[in-house]
């Protein structure tokens, strides 16, 4: 399908790309994010967050180094090149601008969202303080909420899930299964390293999923406009 075809068949775009469920996923993920953020900010989840320290006895320099390497796919320096390479290929293969456009919008949203929330929350990591928000003495850590690794993970798992819709059944299962498995491993590593509270991870994953859904919906609206300009 050409970019012009993308515009002419715009009414079918959501079903063709498997995006019909995106608004529902956005609503659910957004609700989880707001609930986790509100509960963490007022201290309701302090008991849950303190569970992050239960793994402190496992801590060692060797284990910390191993876990750091395992969770590296959650870092932007790894996520962004892979994400843009894959979505650019998908855009070229399907002759649609939606994949790379959704990735671009999602990444921009994640960077702005995470940076703003870290600055607003002023939360220490489990290694440096308690789970309370609005800690004035937090300049040195720039806030732990939400976890950047978790937000990146939630974003690329959501994009992988929906953008793999046009792949073969086996490829789709492989992409979705691998993405979800990697997400679980990355989140567990962050928890075991005690670099984040539990709610940092839950809130970050929900935020990443929400922003990816928004990116998909906005890209779906913008893609036909790009098609008209190119033709």
The per-residue DSSP string of 101-150 comes to: HHHHHHHHHHHHHHHHHHHHH----TTTS-S-S--TT-TTTT--SS-HHH
Measured CA distances, 65 to 34, 74, 149 (Å): 33, 15, 16
Instruction: Tell me the whole-structure pTM to 2 decimals.
Output: 0.84
Please give the Cα distance from 221 to 206 (Å, whole number). 23
- Tokens 């300049």, residue located: 139
Is the Cβ–Cβ distance between 148 and 76 less than 8 Å? Answer: yes
pLDDT tens, per residue, the chain with 231 residues: 343 344 334 444 444 457 889 999 999 999 999 999 999 998 888 888 887 677 666 666 776 677 777 777 667 667 778 788 888 887 787 778 888 899 999 999 999 999 999 989 888 888 788 888 988 765 555 688 999 989 999 999 999 999 888 777 888 888 889 889 988 988 888 888 888 899 999 999 999 999 999 999 999 888 777 766 665
Region label for 147, one of left (φ > 0), alpha (ψ between -120 and 50) or beta (otherwise):
beta
Q: How many Å is the maximal CA-CA distance in the chain?
A: 62
């Amino acid at each position: 399908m050409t970019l012009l075809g993308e515009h002419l068949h715009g009414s079918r775009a959501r079903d063709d790309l498997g995006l019909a469920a995106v608004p529902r996923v956005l609503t659910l993920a957004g609700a989880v994010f707001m609930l986790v953020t509100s509960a963490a900010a007022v201290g309701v989840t302090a008991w849950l967050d303190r569970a992050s320290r239960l793994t402190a006895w496992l801590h060692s320099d060797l284990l910390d180094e191993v876990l750091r390497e395992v969770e590296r796919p959650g870092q932007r320096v790894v996520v962004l090149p892979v994400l843009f390479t894959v979505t650019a290929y998908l855009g070229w293969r399907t002759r649609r601008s939606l994949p790379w456009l959704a990735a671009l919008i999602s990444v921009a949203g994640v960077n702005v969202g995470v940076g703003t929330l870290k600055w607003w929350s002023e939360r220490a990591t489990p290694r440096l303080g308690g789970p309370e928000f609005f800690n004035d003495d937090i300049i040195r850590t720039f806030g732990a909420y939400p976890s950047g690794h978790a937000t990146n993970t939630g974003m690329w798992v959501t994009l992988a899930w929906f953008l793999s819709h046009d792949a073969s059944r086996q490829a789709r299962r492989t992409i979705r299964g691998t993405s979800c498995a990697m997400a679980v491993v990355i989140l567990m590593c962050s928890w075991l390293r005690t670099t984040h509270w539990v709610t940092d991870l839950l809130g970050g994953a929900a935020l990443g999923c929400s922003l990816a859904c928004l990116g998909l919906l906005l890209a779906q609206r913008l893609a036909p406009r790009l098609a008209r300009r190119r033709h």
